[in-house]
Amino acid sequence: MSIANQINDKQVTVHTLENMALKGEKISMITAYDYSMAKLVDSANIDVILVGDSAANVMAGYQTTLPITLNEMIYHAASVVRGTKRALVVVDMPFGTYQGNSKEALNSAVRIMKETAANAVKLEGGQEILESISRILSAGIPVMGHLGLTPQSINKFGTYAVRATTTSEADKIIADAHALEDAGCFALVLEKIPASLAQKVAQELTIPVIGIGAGGYVDGQVLVLHDMLGITQEFSPRFLRRYLSLGDEIKSAVQQYVSDVKTSDFPNEKEQY
Ligand code: KIV
C-alpha cells in the first residue's frame, strides 16, 4: 500500500465532518488542482480539499466546466492526493461521466477512486441523478451532493445568476436535498442561493451542508482557491472574499525578474557556481 493510500489517525474522514457538524464546528473546504497547492492548503489545516471541475476554468482556461475530461480530472486529483496528508480529498465527477446511466457513473467513480486514491466524489444534481448516486454509494464510495447553481447545467439556465429565487425552485432544492440525504450522500454543497433557503436546508438535513455564496447559516464554506487568492482577477461575485492579491504580486515579481535578467543584475556572484 502506498503512502497516498493509507488513512492515518489525523486524516479527516466523512465521519469527522459528520461529527463536526453535530458539534457545530464549521467545516473549511477549498479547491486545489495540483500537488504544490494541495501541500500548502493541507498544511494550513483545511478540512476538505475539493478537486473541482472548476479546474476547467482556472487551470485550463475554458469558459465553462463542461470540456474537462475524466482523464484530466484524474490527473489533477492524483496530484492533489500526493500533496495531502490530513484533508479529506473530494473529486468532482466531470460533465458527461455520470448523467447518462448508472453503470457508467459507477465505472467513472471507480476509476477516480482507484487511480487517484481520493476519498470521495461530488456530483451535481438532485433527483434526476439519484440512480447514479445510489449505484456509486453501493460500491462504498462516499458521495457529496451539489445543488443550487450547478455550473455543468449552464446551457440549460444560460446564466450564473443566483438560483432558487422563486418558490418553485426553492421547493425543488429542498426536495432534492432530502432525496440526496436519504440516498446516503455524506454532505451537500449549496451554491449561490439565498441565505435563508440555505439555512432552511441546513436545519432540515442532518448531513453537513457546505455553502458557496449561500450565506453563513450552514455547516461550512467552500471557495475556489484561485479566486480567494486573487489569481483570477476578472471574477468578483458578491460572495467572494479575496484574502490576497496574488495575481498582482506574481506579476510584479515576474516583472522584477525580467528586469533583473535584462540588466544582468541576475544572477549575481553568490547565485553562481
Ligand atoms: O468545481 C468547483 O470548484 C466547485 C465549487 C465551486 C463548489 O464545484
The helix (run of H) or strand (run of E) holding residue 20 is: helix 14-23
Residues 50 and 10 in one domain: yes
* CB-ligand 1 contact for 31 (6 Å cutoff): yes
The pTM of the full predicted model, rounded to 2 decimals, is 0.96
> Based on the structure, what is the number of domains in the chain?
2
Domain extent at residue 33 = 3-242
124 ligand 1 Cβ < 6 A = no
260 and 148 in a single domain? The answer is no
pLDDT digit string, tens, across residues 150-183:
999 999 999 999 999 999 999 999 999 999 999 9
Write out pLDDT tens, residues 62-74: 999 999 999 999 9
Measured from the CB, is residue 210 less than 6 Å from ligand 1? no
Tell me the three cell numbers of residue 2: 502506498
Active-site option among 191, 204, 234, 249: 191
* In contact, 66 and 95? CB cutoff 8 Å: yes
pLDDT digits (tens, 9 = 90+) for 223-268: 999 999 999 988 899 999 999 999 999 999 999 999 999 999 999 9
- DSSP H helical segments within 184-245, as ranges? 195-204, 225-228
Q: Assess whether 16 and 80 both reside in one domain.
A: yes
Residues 133 and 174 in one domain: yes
